[in-house]
Every structure is written in structure tokens, then in C-alpha cells.
Amino acid sequence: MSSSLMPPGCQSNSQTLNKNSFLFRHDVIYQFKNNSYMKRLFVLLLILSPFYVFSQHDSSAQTIHKSIGPSDKPMYFGIKAGLNFSNITNASQIGASSRTGWHAGVFMNTGSKLFSFRLELLYSQQGYNFSTDSSSGSLTHNYIYLASLMGINVTKFLQIQIGAQTGYLLNATATGKSQSTGNATADQILSLYNRFDYGFGGGIEVHPIMGLLVGARYNISFNNLYKDVLNNSSSGSYSAPSVNFKNNVVQIFAGWRF
């Protein structure tokens, strides 16, 4: 019905409903962007959702003997290891640069002809180098990561992977000519890390022959590397300037499927 044909009272109610609907959507989007707990819940749901999807998978898939996917088996396990080229975002003020580390772990893969689910448990050594006029050095962070990835089997030999991951910081070490990064705010929180990390990952994996696999992946974190800092002064407490450093890691790896 055209708004010109609606009674005046109905037009007013319709405009009010549209305005309230717009305000509600805007408020939901704003709350998500500014609420770290909502982001963590979103990533956790992404990690857990494939468990439900594949628990509903038809058992007839177990009878498949020939697949166009990366493996002829509907489920398989494997091991993988490789190099990390890691850095942090938003850190140009301390001259941050890439640091080379490594990762290794185990995985489980299951699925159908076109789509598959990959669950990985990895140890990952990453970090960054820094260099300023007054100091230089490096920081090394050792994580345990649980990654949940959806695979798209482009051919029998190529798989595209995308998903979420969450990690726990086991320990961190700093080395260099000075214990200072040259950035006053970063210096104050050097040992005050957020122990939990979460974010997205995506990449490709190639299966050239038998159980061999090689691939590359890019991981980006959503959580700040360091905690927010509260400083005390004679006039009371106040918030220090935010240090918005986040992990980002490029991985290359090789492995074997059993």
C-alpha cells in the first residue's frame, strides 16, 4: 500500500517503526565493533560450528572410496611443520620488522567431496624485531593455537582454507641492546601481555603426491598483544595511551597425511 493511501496514524506508526529499526541495527553494529567480548564469542562460535556441521554429516560418506578432494579418505590425521614470518600491526613508531620463527603440530581432517573441516593444534614461535635511534632488539612469543578451518577442494590436489583460531601465550622473552623499545607506553607494558589471542586465518594447501602436503597461510589477530595499562598519579588513576599492537603471521609449511 502506498504511503499516500495510508491513514495518517498508520503513516506515523510506520515511520516510527522504520526509525526504531534503523537505530537498533546501528546500535548492534556499534556494540559489536567496540565490544571485545562479542568479538571473542563470534570467533569461538566460528571455531565450534564445524563440529556441529560434521556431526550431522551423513554416515554414508564413510563408504566413499574415490573422491575429487585432496584425499581419498573421508577422514585422516596428519602432522605439519614450517616457518613463521611474524610481525605486529600499528608499530611503525618503534620500527617493528618481521621476525622468523617456526611452528609444528598435528591435525585432523574430515569432510565430503567438495568441502572439508580441518582442526589443528599447533605450537607457534613468533614475535617481532624493533629498532629506534636509541635501542634495538627482538621479542619472542611462544603460543599454543587451536585452529578450525573450512576447506574448499578446488581439485584433488588443491585446497583453499579459511577459518578462525584461538591461542594461549605460553611465554615471552625480550633480547636486545636495551630493555627499552624506545616507546614509553610500550615500555610500561612490555611484560603485561594478553595471554589469550584470537583471529582469522586463510591460505592454500597443495597435495602433490601420496600423503605429502605443502602450503601457505596468513593469520591476523583481533586481540591486542598487550593489555591496557592503568597508571597511578598523585591526582588519581587515568588510562594510558592505547598501544594497539596485533599479531600477524605468514606461514609456509609441509606435512604428511596418514
- The DSSP code for 64 is -
Helix extents (H) in 132-241: 184-188
234 or 257, greater pLDDT? 257
Q: State which of 26-30, 49-53, 64-68, 167-171 shows the largest mean pLDDT.
A: 167-171
Task: Quick: pLDDT tens for 128-163.
Answer: 998 888 788 888 999 999 999 999 999 989 999 999
Whether the Cβ atoms of residue 118 and residue 109 lie closer than 8 Å to each other: yes
Whether the Cβ atoms of residue 248 and residue 85 lie closer than 8 Å to each other: no
Which domains are seen in the chain, by residue range? Answer: 59-257 (2.40.160.20)
CA–CA dist 186, 179 (Å, integer): 11
Whether the Cβ atoms of residue 228 and residue 242 lie closer than 8 Å to each other: yes
Q: Where are the beta strands (DSSP E) in 58-135?
A: 75-88, 99-111, 115-131
Q: What is the mean pLDDT of residues 201-207?
A: 97
Task: Quick: pLDDT tens for 162-191.
Answer: 999 999 998 888 886 554 555 555 555 446
The backbone torsions φ and ψ at residue 71, rounded to the nearest 5 degrees and listed phi first, read -145, 145
Q: How many Å separate Cα 38 from the centre of its chain?
A: 15
The model carries a pTM of 0.70
254 or 38, greater pLDDT? 254
